[in-house]
Amino acid sequence: MKTAIADGSSEVTVVVEIVAGLITSAMTATAAVVWRYRVRMLAQPRRVRVSFSALLRIRDDDRYVLFHAINRPGSYGPPGGAYKYLSDGEAQLERLGFKDEPKPTGLIDHMRHDLRGFVDSRSVKKFIRWFDSGTGRESATECLRRELAEELAEVGHPELIDHVASLEFTPLRVVQTGPRQEPGTDYLHLRRFEVYDIAVAPTGAAAQFKQRLLELAEDPTTHLIVGVGATDIEYGRCTAGLIGGQAAFLIGTKRRHPPIPAVR
């Protein structure tokens, strides 16, 4: 026997619950379709470009410090870059079928052993498990210290390099995208960005180092280090030039713009 609902508000509640249930069911079905598509895509033998990087957020209120990108002239991005694999990781990567991607002329030594390359789609899960194990590759601290020292020299401030060796970092977020197709390529892309802050006490060398970078970013005579706001990052451009798409991960998990192609 059906029970009549006399209360009008109860009728509204029932309708809302039914609609919510339908929406949830639709979302679940959509997610299932996307997941099945992703599984099928990986099951088919395809090349997947993998690129795993650590980025450093240097922030004060709504000001974010970006460095000029040597391999993307006219653009700016956060300090940091690709992890490097170590000698004891080469054998593991070879078993996974990892192939280094070609390096731009003039940057071969600079980019040697970067974790940017290709694996077969059937090896993606194993590659991620290897990376997550932390063996055979740089730690986040090692990667960020190395990248920061290299980039400080590139932007004309080698006097700050001595401060880098003592820096520690705190994790902020991890963003992983793909594997998915990107315009202009016939392979899939899997990218991971691990974002960190400088661990600073109210006073001390790390705080002074961070403050100096913030000052340089606001110095109108310094053109290779810039300070930008969140709206600049979302827009993808500041007064000095373009802002790399990965800068969006300093403020959230959504990329606003496609990657700026590197110089070949």
Are the C-beta atoms of 188 and 41 separated by less than 8 Å? Answer: yes
Lowest mean pLDDT: which of 24-38, 51-65, 177-191, 207-221? Answer: 24-38
Q: What is the pLDDT of residue 185?
A: 86
Q: Does the pLDDT value for residue 166 go beyond 70?
A: yes
pLDDT tens for each residue of 58-89? 999 999 999 999 878 889 999 999 999 999 99
Q: Does the pLDDT value for residue 212 go beyond 50?
A: yes
pTM of the entire predicted model? 0.80
User: Which three-class secondary structure state does DSSP give residue 116?
Assistant: strand
Neighbours of 168 (CB within 10 A): 12
Neighbours of 133 (CB within 10 A): 11
Using the Cα atoms of residue 56, residue 233, residue 81 and residue 69 in order, give the sign of their dihedral. negative
Position with higher pLDDT, 259 vs 137: 137
pLDDT tens for each residue of 28-68? 555 555 555 555 555 567 999 999 999 999 999 999 999 99
Q: Does the pLDDT value for residue 20 go beyond 70?
A: no
The mean pLDDT of 163-178, rounded to a whole number, is 96
Q: What is the pLDDT of residue 12?
A: 44
